[in-house]
Structure 1
Amino acid sequence: MLDVGTIYLVATGALLLVALGVGVRALVAIFREGRERSRRRREGEIERYTEDPVYDREPPDPDADETAPSTCPQCGAENDGEFTFCRECAAPLGPATD
């Protein structure tokens, strides 16, 4: 007769295999979509950088020096140029909007 521990292991193993199958399907779909986007970029169907409607961000300027330190407008702390938020107070870095 089967004990509870064996049934538990078999059920857990089956659920893990189902989860693995679903996860692999999702990863394959993500990989295919990325490959398709890369192909469309290479062929000029879509732009490399587009405006981000959620954050209203501009495409990065390849000539800009992002390593220059910046000063936080909120607390005055010095931050590395690639930081978007202050390391001390977590305020957004950039031009003051006040």
Structure 2
Amino acid sequence: MFDIGTVYLLATGALLLVALGVGVRTLVAIFREGRERSRNRREGEIERYTEDPVYDRDSPDPDTDGAAPTTCPQCGAENNARFTFCRECAAPLGPNQ
């Protein structure tokens, strides 16, 4: 009745339609959340730019032991003192450049 190729195509098509449906629903939810956040910012309900509590540049890094940040000789980016390579251009840092 049906050959294996037809069954394979039907199953693949059905799975693709399910994945497309889930993807579209997710994208619609993301879009709605973005619109809601934009509306809240315009109305002043939330601050325009908020600090990330996990990543705070002003707080001391416990891994550096108070060492000053290292400046990359290649691009001039400021790096953590414990880094051996630049976070921007991957140039080697330290005495054995």
- Normalised to the residue count of structure 2, the TM-score between the two structures is 0.66
Q: How does 1:6-45 map to 2 (within 5 A)?
A: 6-45=6-45
**Contact conserved, 1:40 with 1:46, CA < 8 A, in 2?**
yes
Please give the alpha-carbon distance, in whole angstroms, between the structure 2 residues aligned to 1:6 and 1:46: 54
Map of 1:56 onto structure 2: 56
Q: Any stretches of 5+ residues in structure 2 without a counterpart?
A: 59-68, 78-85
Please give the alpha-carbon distance, in whole angstroms, between the structure 1 residues aligned to 2:29 and 2:51: 25
Q: Deviations over 1:32-86 (max 9, x none)?
A: 000000000000000010111121158xxxxxxxxxxxxx926521347xxx933
The aligned length equals 76
Amino acid at match of 1:45: E
Please give the alpha-carbon distance, in whole angstroms, between the structure 2 residues aligned to 1:57 and 1:37: 25
Q: Following TM superposition, where does structure 1 have runs of at least 4 consecutive aligned residues deviating by more than 4 angstroms?
A: none
Q: Is structure 2 residue 70 aligned with structure 1 residue 73? A: yes
